[in-house]
Structure 1
């Protein structure tokens, strides 16, 4: 079962929508799904639905409420991709993490004692920030951008974090990937997985960017990670 719910910001000054997918039975835990730069589109909703099928309460906050409600974009349509990149440049990431924290709080209020998070693209970066700045019990980031300039926050990562890194990511160059490994390989709470020859967006549910084999491998690792840490 899925629905749109309204969540209050942490300061109570605003509200935003979130797509929520509920399992058939009592959820074993909750997972906040953090959007790409394309909003809560069909792919993100499908991520939520699959998590619900696996027994989780899945909550995808509409972080682009900063601009307008209900933005949905398709990366395979050039004007929409350009709009997404423009929104990324204007997006207040600190507010985004606070909204993710509000979604975590909402999920705990639904009776879930364990709440994790998973994010993609922009959401992968926000997943790293979530691991460092919130009480997420376990966090996963796919093709996170710009983590090299967040490494000074790594000391604050207290719960498990997994990052999936495609080695041919057009938005994350080799130097950045090397910095991620140098900064995080020895962190006791962080696990990095490289995907040789893969590009950004390889685990998307729909569209030209998807690589079935790599997506299935990454998603299996994610599923096992959450099964271990959200039990």
Structure 2
């Protein structure tokens, strides 16, 4: 269903994976990758949102540093992904997300645009809400804590966490509840990366339930 596209951003041209629904779209969603790149998993996420009636696009943020990044879910992949994420930086990602939203708005009659992100992308989705005013869904955004208290949501916000996530312990989830009283926060009986069927922590019941909450959120906030 999806296909590669080229995306013009404020800091250079990058690639992206885009999918359009077979019906008139409900709206549009910018999908923000994990640190592993626009992988098979992220492309499947984009295609799945399109199958549910949304225009979806996943910018390849790491193209600013290295093209065609698809890292393995292992220690080497984590280490390289962290390096690339640090080199790209969240400020540049915000420009890319804004460019992707504009691309969708100008090429389709897609209506409103939201953003969803996973892990590193979950924090980027949170920041896109605060800085760009986009309705956002954040899945296990483990890098969000340092921004709490001085970054403030400007649109509806849904956050998914795993109950047994070692990277986001309960006290960090509590900090989110304290600083983001306007956000809807879900905690699922799962670990980190529970939405990705290529990871050891994949938990299908939580992934499916979180997807339904996410679709309902976007239906409510974008249509």
From 87, 95, 100, give the equivalent of 2:97: 100
C-alpha distance in structure 2 between counterparts of 1:106 and 1:146, whole Å: 27
Match of 1:194 in 2: 187
Deviation string, structure 1 residues 162-205 (Cα, Å, up to 9, x no partner):
00011322222333222111111x22xx1111124x21100114
Match of 2:127 in 1: 129
Mean CA deviation greater in 221-230 or 86-95: 86-95
Offset at residue 66 of structure 1 (A)? 2.2
Q: Tell me if 1:164 matches 2:156.
A: no
From 215, 219, 226, give the equivalent of 2:211: 219
Offset at residue 154 of structure 1 (A)? 4.1
* Deviation >4 Å, runs of 4+: none
Q: How does 1:1-231 map to 2 (within 5 A)?
A: 1-10=1-10, 13-75=11-73, 77-110=74-107, 111-136=109-134, 138-155=135-152, 157-184=153-180, 186-187=181-182, 190-196=183-189, 198-231=190-223
Deviation string, structure 1 residues 90-145 (Cα, Å, up to 9, x no partner):
33111111111111111111222211111000000001001001132x21000001
> Given that residues 31 and 57 in structure 2 are in contact (C-alpha distance below 8 angstroms), is that contact kept between their aligned partners in structure 1?
yes
* TM-score, scaled to structure 1: 0.90
Q: 1:165 to 1:102 in 2, by over 3 A?
A: same
C-alpha distance in structure 2 between counterparts of 1:173 and 1:207, whole Å: 19
C-alpha distance in structure 2 between counterparts of 1:88 and 1:175, whole Å: 25
> Given that residues 26 and 219 in structure 2 are in contact (C-alpha distance below 8 angstroms), is that contact kept between their aligned partners in structure 1?
no
SS, match of residue 7 in structure 2: strand
Where does structure 2 lack aligned partners over 5 or more consecutive residues?
none
* TM-score, scaled to structure 2: 0.93
Give the superposed CA RMSD: 1.6
> Given that residues 47 and 205 in structure 1 are in contact (C-alpha distance below 8 angstroms), is that contact kept between their aligned partners in structure 2?
no
Deviation string, structure 1 residues 57-104 (Cα, Å, up to 9, x no partner):
1100001112111101121x4422332233234331111111111111
C-alpha distance in structure 2 between counterparts of 1:87 and 1:144, whole Å: 17
